Structure 1
Amino acid sequence: MTIEEKKPYTVFGYGSLIFKPPPHVIRQVPGFLKGYVRRFAQKSHDHRGTPENPGRVVTLVHKADWDVFSGSDAFPDEDVVWGIAYTIDPQYESEVRDYLDYREKDGYTIEEIDVWGIEDGREVVVAANCFTYVGLPENPSFIGSEPIDQLAERIWQSVGPSGRNKDYLYELSAAVRKLAPESHDSHLYALETRCRRLDAEHGDAHQN
Structure 2
Amino acid sequence: MSAPFVVFGYGSLIFKPPPNVVAQAPGFLKGYVRRFAQKSHDHRGTPEKPGRVVTLVHKEDWDLFSNSDPFPDEDTVWGIAYTIDPEFEADVRAYLDYREKDGYTMETIPIYNIVDGVETVIFSRAFCYVGRKDNPSFIGSEPLPALANRIWLSVGPSGPNKEYLYNLANAVRELSPESYDKHLFALEELVKALDEKNRTSGPPLN
* TM-score of the two chains, using structure 1 as the length reference: 0.95
**Equivalent pair of 1:164/1:206 in contact (CA under 8 Å):** no
Deviation at 1:77, TM superposition (A): 2.4
Runs of 5+ unmatched residues, structure 2: none
Deviation at 1:119, TM superposition (A): 1.2
Deviation string 1:96-144 (CA, Å, 9 cap, x unpaired) is 0000000000000011100000111110011111000000000000000
Match of 1:63 in 2: 59
- Higher mean alpha-carbon deviation, 74-83 vs 84-93, is at 74-83
Structure 1's consecutive aligned runs of 4 or more residues displaced over 4 angstroms after TM superposition are 204-208
Matches for 1:176-195 after TM superposition, within 5 Å: 176-195=172-191
Match of 1:11 in 2: 7
Match of 1:35 in 2: 31
- 3-state SS in 1 of match to 2:174: helix
Deviation at 1:72, TM superposition (A): 4.8
Confirm whether residue 138 of structure 1 aligns to residue 143 of structure 2: no
With over 3 angstroms needed to count, the CA separation of the structure-2 counterparts of 1:161 and 1:149, relative to structure 1, is same
**Equivalent pair of 2:8/2:79 in contact (CA under 8 Å):** yes
Confirm whether residue 115 of structure 1 aligns to residue 98 of structure 2: no
Confirm whether residue 23 of structure 1 aligns to residue 16 of structure 2: no
Confirm whether residue 164 of structure 1 aligns to residue 160 of structure 2: yes
Q: Structure 1: how far apart are the matches of 2:177 and 2:143?
A: 29
Across the aligned residues of Structure 1 and Structure 2, the Cα RMSD in angstroms comes to 1.7
Matches for 1:52-131 after TM superposition, within 5 Å: 52-131=48-127
Q: Structure 2: how far apart are the matches of 1:100 and 1:206?
A: 35
Q: Structure 2: how far apart are the matches of 1:206 and 1:73?
A: 25
Q: Structure 2: how far apart are the matches of 1:69 and 1:126?
A: 32
Q: Structure 1: how far apart are the matches of 2:94 and 2:172?
A: 26
Q: Structure 1: how far apart are the matches of 2:188 and 2:24?
A: 26
Q: Structure 2: how far apart are the matches of 1:109 and 1:76?
A: 24
Deviation at 1:80, TM superposition (A): 1.3
Q: Which amino acid aligns with 1:78?
A: E
Q: Structure 2: how far apart are the matches of 1:201 and 1:68?
A: 35
Identity across the alignment (%): 68
- Higher mean alpha-carbon deviation, 102-111 vs 121-130, is at 121-130
Q: Structure 2: how far apart are the matches of 1:31 and 1:206?
A: 38
**Equivalent pair of 1:41/1:142 in contact (CA under 8 Å):** yes
Aligned residues: 204
**Equivalent pair of 1:44/1:54 in contact (CA under 8 Å):** yes
